[in-house]
Amino acid sequence: MSYCVNCGVELEKTQKRCPLCNTPVINPNETEITTEIPPYPTDNVVVVERKLRRMTALLITIILFVPFLLCPLCDFLITGRLTWSVYTMLSIELGWIYIVPPILLKHNTVMKCAWIDYFSTIIFLYGINMIFAPENNWALEIAFPILSYLMAVVLIYAVLARRFNISVLVYIATGFVFVAVMSLLIEYIINSYNNISGGFVWAVPVMISCLGVALILIVISKMTKLKALIKKIMHI
């Protein structure tokens, strides 16, 4: 085994130059090897990673496909029709959508998966609503506005991450603001769905608490010395 005379890095017998400093390798005691065998894998790392992703997605699909077939079979043999297994089958389908696309997608994975999960969840909840409780349109009146708000939050975070250099504390503070608004939205939607008159009740203290925490985090983010002290104490 040779070592570079310039930087001391360990060298393979087939290497003619140091991979670190590009110094020519000269070792009269080493037998020259005519057939060069590269000391690194010949397969493209990207190709190997792509194959690994496909195999992982296929394995997950096979694992989820087994209960997808067994549950309705057991349900039909016990009850003579499909009852509880419908929930299971739809849930397995939704779980597959949550897990497999992030493994297979290449570019803009977060946003693509966010849109896929958004529409898939809406369809899933609407299907459950129409199959088991068509008289109560809770999927469109409750679930749809809440999911739409969460999707809007994801889009806002994506814009902030791409166009602005914001500290972690400000990101967390923004999250608390979104939770405060969401608490008001949820109580308003539930009251409208149940035809309950009156103002906000439980959402107000939640909103005040979240906004207070957000304000504290923003103030801390502006204080350089205090922020450095917190990082030192928390080992971050």
pLDDT in tens, 99-133: 999 998 877 788 889 999 999 999 999 999 998 88
Share of residues in the chain with pLDDT > 70 (%)? 86
Name the pLDDT band for 175 (thresholds 50, 70, 90). Answer: very high
Residue 8 gets the label, from left (phi > 0), alpha (psi -120 to 50) or beta, of left
Instruction: Please answer whether residues 187 and 201 qualify as being in contact, where contact means their C-beta atoms are separated by less than 8 angstroms.
Output: yes
Instruction: Please answer whether residues 71 and 89 qualify as being in contact, where contact means their C-beta atoms are separated by less than 8 angstroms.
Output: yes
pLDDT in tens, 9-38: 787 777 778 877 888 877 666 555 555 555
Sign of torsion over alpha carbons 147, 149, 155, 161: negative
What's the pLDDT score for residue 163? 82
For residue 42, count other CB atoms closer than 10 A to its CB.
6
Check whether 233 has a pLDDT greater than 80.
Answer: no
What's the pLDDT score for residue 27? 67
